[in-house]
Each structure stands twice: as C-alpha cells, then as structure tokens.
Amino acid sequence: MDAFTTHTGTAAPLRRSNVDTDQIIPAEYLKRITRTGFEDGLFVAWRTNEPDFVLNQPAYADASILVAGPDFGTGSSREHANWALLDGGFRVVISSRFADIFRNNSTKAGLLTVVLPQEQVEALWTAIEADPTTRVTVDLREKQVGYGDTTLPFEVDDYVRWRLLEGLDDVGLTERNLDDIEAFEAGRPSWLPTATPLS
C-alpha cells in the first residue's frame, strides 16, 4: 500500500447521497481477477447515461478528490470500489457519512476517507462548483482539509492514521503477534467445527 501523508489536487462535487458500491463499480466488472485496471468501471452507468454527470465535465476530468453526499459506499463489500476510485485518479473521498465496510476497505487500499459535517461539505461543493480549479489540500499529518482561506479539521483514528502515513501492511503487523494467535488457538474448545470434508 502506498503511504498517504498529504495530497493537493482539484475536487469534483458529487451531489448524490446513498452512493452504493454497485454505482461506484457494477458487478460485471468484478469478474476480473486483477487488482488494478478498474477505472473503466468507475461510475460507468452514470458516465454512460448522463452527459452532464460531474465526471463527464472537462472541468473535473483531473479531479483527485471526490466530495460526495452522505452515506457514500453503502451496500456490497467489494473492495473493487476502492480500487476503481484509486485507478480513476482519486486519492481522497470526502463525505459527511461513509458506510463502514467501504471506509474500512479504504484504509487497506490506501484511499483516504475524510468525514466532514454536511454544512462543510455543502460549502466545499459551492466553492468547487464556482471555481473547479480550486486547489484542495488534504493533510493527514495535520488532520485538516484546506482550500482558499478555509481550514477544516477532521477526526481520524490514530492507529489508522499511523498505518496510512507509514503505508504499512496489516498482515505484516499481525504476524508480529503470532505467539498470541498460537496461544489462543490452543485454548479453543474441541467441539468447534472444521470445514474439513467428512468421510
């Protein structure tokens, strides 16, 4: 996973709530067995069917920060949604509420999710709609979003922040605690099931 410290770019306003992961990337793109190359599926239905869709507008073509309505990333656990956003050039998604699995997957994939109150999201929408070239900086070290004269602090779990700043792999961290896992396994009740085929 790539480390995330700070990112500056332009931002695209996605004025929709309840953007489910089926919209971020439909199921037909999930048949692939690779971990990259999902940009063609990103919001493909809206990009295809709605000429005015924000990501079809040239002014937002290079946006790397997505500013979405509440309840972003609901539904399916598909991490392909996070990969598609990264493949599509996004490093940050800002919303007032995220679905839990999407947010958790983001921390594994290296996509930063930032929660801001809805009124701050609305103000940011207004700013980037008025001037799509507005530079927005998301600084994970300082835990703040900045644009123009505005600086907005955001909350992030300290452990998640540390992992993202260092670009650390969870599996490697867990493997340091192998002794604990072995001790736990030794104490499990013997009647618990195994999936081993029965003769």
Partner 1 sequence: MPKTLAEKVYEAHVVRSAAGEPDLLFIDLHLVHEVTSPQAFDGLRAAGRTVRRPDLTMATEDHNVPTLDILAPIADPVSRAQIEALRTNTAEFGIRLAPMGDRDQGIVHVIGPQLGLTQPGMTIVCGDSHTSTHGAFGALAFGIGTSEVEHVLATQTLPQYAPKQMAVTVTGRLAPGVSAKDIILAVIAEIGTNGAQGHVIEYRGSAIEALSMESRMTICNMSIEAGAKAGLIAPDQTTLDFLRGRPHAPQGADWDAAVEYWSTLRTDEGVVFDREVVLDAATLTPFVTWGTNPGQGLPIAGTVPDPADIADEGRRRDVEQALAYMGLEPGTPLREIEVDTVFLGSCTNGRIEDLRVAAELLRGKRIDPGTRMLVVPGSVGVKAQAEEEGLDQVFLDAGAEWRGAGCSMCLGMNPDQLQPGERSASTSNRNFQGRQGKGGRTHLVSPSVAAATALTGKLTAPADLTTAQA
Query: Which residues contact partner 1 by CB under 8 A?
Result: 15-18, 20, 22-23, 26-28, 30-35, 45, 69-71, 74-80, 82, 97, 99-101, 104-105, 108-109, 118, 158-159, 170-171, 173-175, 177, 180-181, 184-185, 188-198
Q: Shortest Cβ distance from residue 133 to partner 1 (Å)?
A: 26
Between 117 and 159, CB nearer to partner 1: 159
Between 133 and 196, CB nearer to partner 1: 196
Structure tokens given for 29: 């793109």
Instruction: Look up tokens 């946006």; give the residue.
Output: 63
Q: Shortest Cβ distance from residue 79 to partner 1 (Å)?
A: 4
Between 108 and 137, CB nearer to partner 1: 108
Residue 98 has φ and ψ, to the nearest 5°, of -115, 150
Q: Shortest Cβ distance from residue 132 to partner 1 (Å)?
A: 21
Between 70 and 89, CB nearer to partner 1: 70
User: What's the 3-state SS for the chain?
Assistant: CCCCCEEEECEEEECCCCCEHHHHCCHHHHHCCCCCCCHHHCCHHHHHHCCCCHHHCHHHCCCCEEEECCCECECCCCCHHHHHHHHCCCCEEEECCECHHHHHHHHHHCCEEEECCHHHHHHHHHHHHHCCCCCEEEECCCCEEEECCEEEECCCCHHHHHHHHHCCCHHHHHHCCHHHHHHHHHCCCCCCCCCCCCC
Between 15 and 135, CB nearer to partner 1: 15
Q: Shortest Cβ distance from residue 66 to partner 1 (Å)?
A: 17
Between 10 and 106, CB nearer to partner 1: 106
Q: Shortest Cβ distance from residue 10 to partner 1 (Å)?
A: 23
Q: Shortest Cβ distance from residue 77 to partner 1 (Å)?
A: 4
* 163 to 136, 156, 166: CA distances (angstroms): 23, 11, 5
